[in-house]
Amino acid sequence: MSNSQLTEGICANRLSPDALAQNFTDIAPSLTAHEAQVAADRCYFCHDAPCQTACPTDIDIPLFIRQIATQTPDAAGMTIFDSNILGGMCARVCPTENLCEGACVRMKAEGKPVEIGRLQRFATDGVMARQDHPYTRAAATGRTVSVIGAGPAGLACAHRLAMKGHSVTIYDARPKAGGLNEFGIASYKAVEGFAAAEVAWLMQIGGIKMVENWQLGRAGDGDLSDILAQSDAVFLGMGLSGVNALRLKGEDKDNIIPATNFIAQLRQASDLAALPIGRDVVVIGGGMTAVDAAVQAKLLGALNVTIVYRRGRDAMPASAHEQEIALSRGVRIIEHAAPKAIIGNGAVRHIEFCYTKNGPDGLEMTDATFRLPADQCFTAIGQTLGDMPEIVIVKGGKIITDGAGRTSMARVWAGGDCTHAGDDLTVTAVAQGRDAAEDIHLFLAKG
């Protein structure tokens, strides 16, 4: 954000460096060995484990918890990585309350699940702390694969293919690899540069070349036909780079910012105290990005932070756990309200909302309105892929794939948020990248 965009209510240094450091500490620190032992002992080790069924990457959860219980945590870490090479980040950011822990038998019986996520972090952190990468690359096959996007889907795909002996080149539009994990999640979920450390650890497999600051279709870089001409196969995992517009008059006023841009700026900041933040911050949207932006605005020192969502809290894409995190940090959540007008002279000053209700034909706007003061507004109402004319796109701008990640174009696979099967979760993107890699390997083996 440039200084010309700053208004009276927006400034840096709202909190001291010590206060900021305290605010942005690890939200769920790693278990000690004793704590992990106690947590593992609560598992029933179900034969037909509902937690494993609920995991998009199909990690054998009872097995890895039993391995922790029998004091072989490194074996537990390898059980996780065999299914999910980004198991360390997933342990930090997965909405486990909706996935494995939500399906846990103890959750059903007692309302308190086994701490699967924290046990996964304990096991994976131990393996990653070693000096040597635990996987060995197979003999070179002489086949080449290009991966577009260095996010979770692309990284998982690249690692699996490299492990099988193929040569992989990853192209990414940003100056740093990691995708959503590096630029799109709250800082307090992955502290101390974990996303970058995980990428460096993964790249130790060898056989992977990283090309950064390269965007598909950008003049001077290349398009899909160029990449196909130099590759035996291509995997598209570029995520969603575009943002949906509010489609309101005045949307171009200063200090109305995509929440993804704010989070990325914060994640890459070397000095949190230097980040300008408003006094009255409004976040429009109800997903994980909205919550991450709102909570971090509060942690940076914003006085009033409000999330406004057009439906009820039970319909918010952000999990109930994430909503509680926001409320516990002093963020207000207003339900059943949609933006109607942006008021201000040059920069936003107020946002007018109308209350909504559920009608016979869906959501309806009512005549009842209210205004919120806002010197800063973050929009989090969804993202788009952008133009991809060489690939069949479903309505809503996402790539159609089959169960193995194949697109309608020969030798092109896709996975993660850029596809119709993506759901804005790191763990789902990893699963799709991994599964596409297996199908690409079979395809290459036949050729």
Kindly give the interhelix angle for 61-69 and 73-83, rounded to the nearest 10 degrees: 170
**Residue 323 and residue 313 in contact, taking contact as beta carbons nearer than 8 Å:** yes
Name the H helices within 14-60.
17-23, 33-40, 50-54
Query: For residues 6 and 198, what is the distance between their CA atoms, to the nearest angstrom?
Result: 36
Query: For residues 10 and 288, what is the distance between their CA atoms, to the nearest angstrom?
Result: 24
**Residue 405 and residue 435 in contact, taking contact as beta carbons nearer than 8 Å:** yes
Considering the domain delimited by 3-25+244-379, tell me its CATH architecture. 3-Layer(bba) Sandwich (3.50)
Question: Per residue in 351-370, pLDDT tens?
Answer: 999 999 999 988 999 999 99
Average pLDDT rounded to a whole number, residues 40-49: 95
pLDDT of 49 above 50: yes
**Residue 158 and residue 178 in contact, taking contact as beta carbons nearer than 8 Å:** no
Q: Do 144-241+385-446 and 33-128 fall under one CATH topology?
A: no
User: Domain-by-domain residue ranges, the chain?
Assistant: 3-25+244-379, 33-128, 144-241+385-446
pLDDT at 6 (0 to 100): 52
Residue length of the chain: 447
* 346: DSSP letter: S
pLDDT of 2 above 50: no
- pLDDT grade, residue 236 (50/70/90)? very high
Question: Per residue in 161-211, pLDDT tens?
Answer: 999 999 999 999 999 999 999 999 999 999 999 999 999 999 999 999 999
pLDDT at 191 (0 to 100): 94
Average pLDDT rounded to a whole number, residues 334-345: 96
Question: Per residue in 52-61, pLDDT tens?
Answer: 999 999 999 9
CA atoms within 13 A on the CB side of 181: 35
Query: For residues 90 and 2, what is the distance between their CA atoms, to the nearest angstrom?
Result: 34
**Residue 441 and residue 161 in contact, taking contact as beta carbons nearer than 8 Å:** yes
pLDDT of 379 above 50: yes
pLDDT of 259 above 80: yes
pLDDT over 90 percentage in the chain: 88
**Nearest CA to 365 among 373, 374, 375, 355?**
355
- pLDDT grade, residue 388 (50/70/90)? confident
What are the tokens at 425? 């979760």
Query: For residues 342 and 196, what is the distance between their CA atoms, to the nearest angstrom?
Result: 38
Instruction: Please identify, in words, the CATH class of the domain defined by 33-128.
Output: mainly alpha
Average pLDDT rounded to a whole number, residues 138-159: 98
What are the tokens at 387? 């133009």
- pLDDT grade, residue 8 (50/70/90)? low
pLDDT at 10 (0 to 100): 93
Average pLDDT rounded to a whole number, residues 279-297: 97
Count of CB atoms situated within 10 Å of the CB of 60: 18
What are the tokens at 191? 């502290």
pLDDT at 390 (0 to 100): 76
Specify the residue for token string 């620190």: 29
CA distances from 55 to 23, 81, 280, 294 (A): 31, 13, 39, 28
pLDDT at 4 (0 to 100): 41
- pLDDT grade, residue 5 (50/70/90)? very low
**Nearest CA to 353 among 331, 377, 330?**
377
Name the H helices within 134-192.
152-163, 180-183
* 219: DSSP letter: T
The CATH code for residues 144-241+385-446 is 3.50.50.60
